[in-house]
Amino acid sequence: MKLSYNWLREWVPVGDSADALATRLTLSGLEAEAVPLTGALPEGVVVGHIVAVAPHPQADRLQVCSVDVGAAAPLSIVCGAANAREGLHVPCATVGARLPGGQTITQAKLRGVDSFGMLCSAQELGLAEKADGLLELDGDSRPGTPIEQYLSFDDQILNLELTPNRGDCLSIMGLAREVAAIQGVQMRRPNLPAAVVVGDRQARIDIAQPEGCPHYAGRLITRLRPGVRTPDWMRERLRRSGIRTIHPVVDVTNYVMIELGQPMHAFDLAKLEGGIQVRAARQGESLTLLNEQVVTLDHGELVIADERRALALAGVMGGVDSAVGEDTTAVFLESACFAPAAVAGTGRRHKLHSDSLYRFERGVDPGLQRAALDRASQLIVQLCGGDVHPVTQSGRLQPETVTVRLRAARVERLLGVAIASKDIEALLGRLGMTLRHDVGGTWQVRVPSYRTDVREEVDLIEEVARLHGYQAIPARPYAAALAVGAAPERRQPLASLRDRMVGRGWQEAVTLAFVDPAVQDVLLPEGEAVRLDNPLAETLGALRRTLWAGLLPAWLHNEQRQQRRVRLFEMAVCFERVDGVIAEQTRIGGLATGPVVPEHWDGAARPTDFYDLRADVEMLLGANLTRCRFEAAAHPALHPGQSARIVLDGVEIGWLGRLHPRVVQALDLPEAPLLFELVLAAVRDIPVPRAAPLSEFPSSRRDLAVEVPEALPADALLARARAVGGAHLVQARVFDVYRGKGLSDGCKSVAIGLIFNDNSRTLQAEDIDRAAHAILEDWRQRFGAVVRG
């Protein structure tokens, strides 16, 4: 937000320079910066009056203007501005003048005609970034007056970055209150005369949504003079607040918004039908806004309407059909209080931004509407004339009284410093708060209606700290008894997982949760992504459904910088829309390319393969590995012959494999990297280790080779062996797979080693034979396995 420093000084005696005031505001919690109105003051630029205009003899788009600059004779100046006309008062740079941009004006001959100066726009004076024509001045401005004097160039602009809870400072009056409180001085509010009511017409106002609009006030102003120009003093103050002038009535509503903090709106009375209604939009109702955007209202948005149609989005923006124009002679002037929750969603849903919305969604003083209405009425009559009619109000006429209990002991405990009771009362009193003593060193504090952010005791303590001065609170060590909770034994720390991955040559990546929808849709063509309404960029338009959507661009960034061996892993949240609800799940994922080990003189480079990646995944699974199965399965992003689904206790927890050739081609990748992704909870939660004695007796081993169908995974044989092998079977593992001569078509030979042991005795051959026979029989019945000779 931008505010004029000189305008602020009319409301409060600022003892500091603009820079010093900005520093004090920043130290009190309001980030502020003071910048000059222009880069440099113009020299030799005065108010000029165009007394005559003649066409240029050699150029159709140029005119020869005779300009009175308060000298003995008018100056002849060639000008190409479209709005140059007889009678116009404009800034005129005479010969020798120097403009803020560094340009020096000299006598020149333009297409054969001598020009003794230049007529200036707001851009050439450094007041605006761009301009469509000459800067038009009031008709009563005196020719020859230095322009820096006439437009008060000895001003500075306060740029404020306010936190969302300080909507009370979004005005000259609000900032003046804050400055007065910080400096301990009295605010000198200007004497603003009220408009004299001469009419008797009143508009009917009906609030159908009181929770969204607790107070609505309005009045009619008739017999306005059309064609009136907004005076320069108001134009300059609006320009310095970042607001362009539109129409005198509209300019007044914007002026009052900047001055007092109350957004307002004016409706052309001739375009209204019946009374004013504050209601929810009807399903499918449409409205053309002032920015010419057509919005369809399907979510019950709060609107201002007449008896026939919606006129404006409440607290956001007005509509074209009821807008004030050049021929407007009567208006209905609105001054209302809208609840932040009622308007904030509307702005975001329709991607709308306005100065009114900026204030309403932060909270507007619910007791300000009548005063703002009177101020705007007085200014409109001052500028445009007209008859003022009585105010009509609906809803809660007085804001609710908010009282908060404050304890002196609590202040000292939170701030760590003792502040005297009289100082607490004085500091809060500066903010317009009324304190009443209660029992036991406490106060009942009545909060003014404009401080919508103060609702709890900690809010009051924060105000005490701000005004006391953060720099006045000493830094000292504090002793506190902290009870540290015990970490669950079965939960692995994230630091442990990171260390294990780094120890195996991986590097952790941190990517944005926003990803390119085009990349993600190729990886996961099925399912519904969470799209963003206002993405940072087109390539960041969706929340990630898989970590691979962020790891792939990170790999490409490294690969394009000649990093051929890449091992990236990430632990982060993925988002999925399930039945209209956004579900979140934390996962760990990784990407690997290049040789399996860094380049070395002792051995040829070998590219990383599926089993290298599987080894790292098995390391992550740790103690859960014995409960996991790696199943050959199809994933839309992975190669059908080099991918596996990871299942833990019958529940899918992740995938690993090589990127699908279709994806490589669609994304124009240089190669197909290896990828994995696991549910982080399944990796972190491991069985609690249990101590077991080591057997003092020798173990026995039996090797079984069976012929099974090619499609049967060896893991199925191992799982059944563990299931029926009995308590003496302590280990089962594959030590050979054979395909070739001597086997039936479509079959393979799998050799499995079975190790038996008992802690209390040496097993007999009969025990081992019985267990081995049970395993073979189970394989035969379930898989059709045949023992090889």
The candidate with the shortest Cα–Cα distance to 729, out of 774, 687, 694, 693, is 774
Topology of domain 494-684 in CATH is: BirA Bifunctional Protein; domain 2 (3.30.930)
Tell me: pLDDT of 430 over 80: yes
pLDDT in tens, 347-390: 989 989 999 999 999 999 999 999 999 999 999 999 999 999 99
How large is the average pLDDT for residues 606-627? 92
**Mean pLDDT for all residues in the chain:** 93
Q: 522-530: long-range contacts at Cβ-Cβ below 8 A with a sequence spacing of 24 or more?
A: 522/637, 522/663, 522/666, 522/667, 523/548, 523/549, 523/552, 523/636, 523/637, 523/663, 524/636, 524/637, 525/636, 526/636, 527/576, 527/577, 528/576, 528/577, 529/577, 530/575, 530/576, 530/577, 530/582
pLDDT in tens, 761-775: 999 999 999 999 999
Which is more confident, 299 or 250?
Answer: 250
C-alpha to C-alpha distance for 26 and 239, rounded to whole angstroms: 24
How large is the average pLDDT for residues 62-79? 95
Instruction: Indicate the pLDDT class of residue 756, thresholds 50, 70 and 90.
Output: very high
pLDDT in tens, 636-660: 999 998 999 999 998 999 999 999 9
Instruction: Indicate the pLDDT class of residue 549, thresholds 50, 70 and 90.
Output: very high
Topology of domain 205-395 in CATH is: Phenylalanyl-tRNA Synthetase; Chain B, domain 3 (3.50.40)
pLDDT in tens, 192-220: 788 899 999 999 999 999 999 999 999 99
Write down the pLDDT at residue 550. 96
pLDDT in tens, 699-724: 999 999 999 999 898 888 998 999 99
Residues of the chain with pLDDT > 90, as a percent, come to 81
Return phi, psi of residue 219, to 5°: -155, 160
How large is the average pLDDT for residues 692-701? 89
Tell me: pLDDT of 623 over 90: no
Three-state secondary structure along 588-621? EEEEEECECCCCCCCCCCCECCHHHHHHHHHHHH
pLDDT in tens, 23-41: 999 999 999 999 998 878 8
Write down the pLDDT at residue 667. 94
pLDDT in tens, 219-248: 999 999 999 999 999 999 999 999 999 999
Write down the pLDDT at residue 789. 67
Report field, pTM of the whole predicted structure over 0.85: no
Per-domain residue ranges of the chain: 9-36+158-183, 43-150, 205-395, 404-471, 494-684, 700-787
Tell me: pLDDT of 475 over 70: yes
Q: Please enumerate in sequence order all residues whose Cβ is within 8 A of that of 495, keeping only pairs 6 or more positions apart, or say none.
A: none
Instruction: Indicate the pLDDT class of residue 489, thresholds 50, 70 and 90.
Output: confident
Write down the pLDDT at residue 601. 84
Beta pairing class for 581-593 and 566-578: antiparallel
How large is the average pLDDT for residues 147-170? 93
Half-sphere CA count of 668, side-chain side, radius 13 A: 1
Maximum CA pair distance of the chain?
Answer: 131
CATH of segment(s) 700-787: 3.30.70.380
Topology of domain 404-471 in CATH is: Phenylalanyl-tRNA Synthetase; Chain B, domain 1 (3.30.56)
Is the CATH number 3.30.56.10 carried by domain 9-36+158-183?
yes
Domain 404-471 in the same topology as domain 9-36+158-183: yes
Write down the pLDDT at residue 697. 92
Topology of domain 43-150 in CATH is: OB fold (Dihydrolipoamide Acetyltransferase, E2P) (2.40.50)
